[in-house]
Amino acid sequence: MKLTLEVWRQKNGGDKGGFSTYELEDVDTHMSFLEMLDVLNQDLIVGGAEPIAFEHDCREGICGACGFVVNGVAHGHQKGSTICQLHMRHFSDGDKITIEPWRAKAFPIIKDLVVDRSSFDRILQAGGFVTIRTGSAPDANALPVATDTLEHAMDFAECIGCGACVASCPNGAAMLFVGAKISHLALLPQGMPEKAKRALKMVEAMESEAFGACTNYTSCEAVCPKEISISGIARMNKDFRRASVAGAEPAHGKKR
């Protein structure tokens, strides 16, 4: 299979960057998208050129390291999939493929397709701790959680923090990510004690980063490799609203 790739190349954050075009002669349809780039990079290295920088780790769709925009869609056009799990059989001979990094002010480019997603880390840190017992595994049924509830929480816990939601949002908003993180803990008894505080702190942290604001385009959930629902955003908004009204401090029965 022959392909023409148009790839964003940028030496570093200060560089202006631009597109470079590469012709690939013999792409195996069994390759994953990243393997196709590995092959191209091998050729570039042999030819004395700088290989294309992109992030990856597990290559099985679970770590959240990979991610860039392929033909205008974050992680490519395959639904519910990271780019490492997209295979070349989904492309046809002669295709022209445009590859761009996540574009968001809150995700500055480090090099080529690699962006700095530490804004996500700062939001998570702002969420603070969860008061669970650490150490040996707890007794299986010491804390009963209904199956429905834990499945619901797990749907949000699936978020791998790849940043596709921000990349695909016309507003560059991070609400699906933050909504998933907040909902995942707010649905479980373990997450209850800090629920209000967490909602306030994480939303504040999100707003202090350079993300945009949600206008309910829903393209985040459409590209999310874990197909996380925007109902997480509704829950985040609800928790935030309640915490803003009631305050984040725990209730107390003593006169103060």
Give residues in contact with ligand FES (CB under 6 A).
56-59, 61-66, 82, 84
Segment interacting with another protein (CB under 8 A) among 34-42, 114-122, 123-131, 169-177:
169-177
* Minimum CB–partner distance for residue 72 and another protein (Å): 3
**Strands of the 73-74 sheet, one edge to the other:** 18-24, 3-9, 95-100, 69-70, 73-74
Nearer to ligand FES, 62 or 145 (CB): 62
Residues 150, 191: Cα–Cα separation, whole Å: 12
In the set 215, 227, 244, 246, which binds another protein (CB under 8 A)?
A: 215
Q: Which of 123, 204, 219 is nearest to 171 (CA)?
A: 219
Contact 65, 58 (CB under 8 A): yes
Binding residues for another protein, rule CB under 8 A, total 44
Mark residue 161 as left, alpha or beta (left: phi above 0; alpha: psi -120 to 50; beta: remaining): left
Position 112 contacts another protein (CB under 8 A): no
Q: How far apart are CA 105 and CA 237, in angstroms?
A: 23
Q: Please check whether residue 31 is in contact with residue 88, taking contact to mean a CB–CB distance below 8 angstroms.
A: yes
Which of 1, 24, 73, 124 lies at the binding interface for another protein (CB under 8 A)?
73
Which of 132, 150 has the CB closer to another protein?
A: 150
Minimum CB separation of residue 57 from ligand FES in Å reads: 5
> For residues 177 and 167, what is the distance between their CA atoms, to the nearest angstrom?
11
- The one segment of 41-49, 57-65, 117-125, 167-175 that binds another protein by CB under 8 A: 167-175
**Cα–Cα nearest to 53, from 14, 95, 109:** 109
Answer for which of 45, 49, 210, 246 binds another protein (CB under 8 A) is 210
Decide: is 90 part of the binding site for another protein (CB under 8 A): no
> What residue ranges bind another protein (CB under 8 A)?
6, 19, 69, 71-74, 98, 100, 103-106, 152, 168-173, 210-223, 230-231, 233-239, 241
